[in-house]
A and B are shown apart, each in its own frame.
Chain A
Amino acid sequence: KQEVTQIPAALSVPEGENLVLNCSFTDSAIYNLQWFRQDPGKGLTSLLLIQSSQREQTSGRLNASLDKSSGRSTLYIAASQPGDSATYLCAVPMDSSYKLIFGSGTRLLVRP
C-alpha cells in the first residue's frame, strides 16, 4: 500500500531564503510524482510533474527532484517571496490505477 509523507508539516522562513520541501513515498514503483500548491480556501494548482524516468523538473524558481530508489522527492524554492506562502502537496498515482495518493502537505509561510 502506497503511503506519502511530507516533512516538515509547517515551515516559516524570511523572504529571500532558499528552501527545500520534502516528500517521501513507500512504494518506489511509481509512474510519476506531482507537486501542487493550495492557497487558503482555494483549489489546487499543479506546479510540476516529474515522470518516473526523469530526475528533475524546473519551472521558474521551482525545481523538483525525484529519487525513485530512495522513495524521495524534493521541491526547491529559490529566493522565496511572501507570495509563495501556501500549502504544498505532493502526490503519486497508486499502482496503475487512476488514484492519486496525497501527502498531508507542508504549510509554508514566507515572512516579509
Chain B
Amino acid sequence: DTAVSQTPKYLVTQMGNDKSIKCEQNLGHDTMYWYKQDSKKFLKIMFSYNNKELIINETVPNRFSPKSPDKAHLNLHINSLELGDSAVYFCASSLGGPINEQFFGPGTRLTVL
C-alpha cells in the first residue's frame, strides 16, 4: 500500500509544452507539499497546501500552478516548459504543521528537451 504516490514516474517532453504531475496520499494527512530536486540534488520547497488551501508559495514562476481538489490530492501543472524545469519533483504530506513528520512520494523525473 503506497502511502504517497505520484504519476507519472518519468516525463519527457519538449520545450513549450504544458504538463501535469499528480500526487495522492492515503495517510489521512491534511497538508501536502511539492519539492524540487535539481541536478545538484538540492531539495527545495515549492508549494504547500493545508486543507486544500495554499499556505506556502515560494518564488516559483507562475508557469507552475498547484491544484488541490481535496485533502488527499495535490497536482502540479506546468505551462510553457523550459529546459531549466528539468528536475525531480517530489510530493510529500504530513498531518498538521511543522511538528510532524513529512512523508515523501517516489518522485517524478521531468526532462525537458
A interface residues with partner B (beta carbon < 8 Å): 31-32, 34, 36, 41-46, 49, 51, 87, 89, 91, 93-94, 96-100, 102, 104-105
Residues of A with C-beta under 8 A to B90: 43-44
Q: How far, in whole Å, are A75 and B97 apart by their CA atoms in the complex?
A: 24
Q: How far, in whole Å, are A53 and B102 apart by their CA atoms in the complex?
A: 18
B48→A44 contact, CB < 8 A: no
Among residues of A, the one whose C-beta sits closest to the C-beta of B106 is A43
Q: How far, in whole Å, are A91 and B31 apart by their CA atoms in the complex?
A: 17
Main SS class of interface, B: strand
Quick one: given A43-B90, A49-B101, are A98 and B33 in contact (CB under 8 Å)?
A: yes
* B58-109 interface (Cβ within 8 A of A): 58, 90, 92, 94, 97-107, 109
B98→A102 contact, CB < 8 A: no
Q: How far, in whole Å, are A87 and B43 apart by their CA atoms in the complex?
A: 12
B43→A31 contact, CB < 8 A: no
B102→A104 contact, CB < 8 A: no
Among residues of A, the one whose C-beta sits closest to the C-beta of B98 is A93
Q: How far, in whole Å, are A105 and B37 apart by their CA atoms in the complex?
A: 12
Among residues of B, the one whose C-beta sits closest to the C-beta of A44 is B104
Contact size class for B?
Answer: 20 to 34
Quick one: given A31-B99, A93-B98, A98-B48, are A36 and B41 in contact (CB under 8 Å)?
A: no
B interface residues with partner A (beta carbon < 8 Å): 4, 31, 33, 35, 40-45, 48, 50, 55-56, 58, 90, 92, 94, 97-107, 109
A30 to chain B, nearest CB (A): 9
Residues of B with C-beta under 8 A to A31: 97-99
Among residues of B, the one whose C-beta sits closest to the C-beta of A46 is B101
B43→A32 contact, CB < 8 A: no
Residues of A with C-beta under 8 A to B98: 31-32, 93-94, 96-100
Q: Which residue among B31, B43, B92, B103 has the maximum number of chain A CB atoms within 10 Å of its CB?
A: B43
Other than the given A44-B104, A89-B43, A97-B98, 8 more pairs (CB < 8 A) read: A42-B106, A42-B107, A43-B90, A49-B100, A94-B98, A98-B31, A98-B48, A100-B43
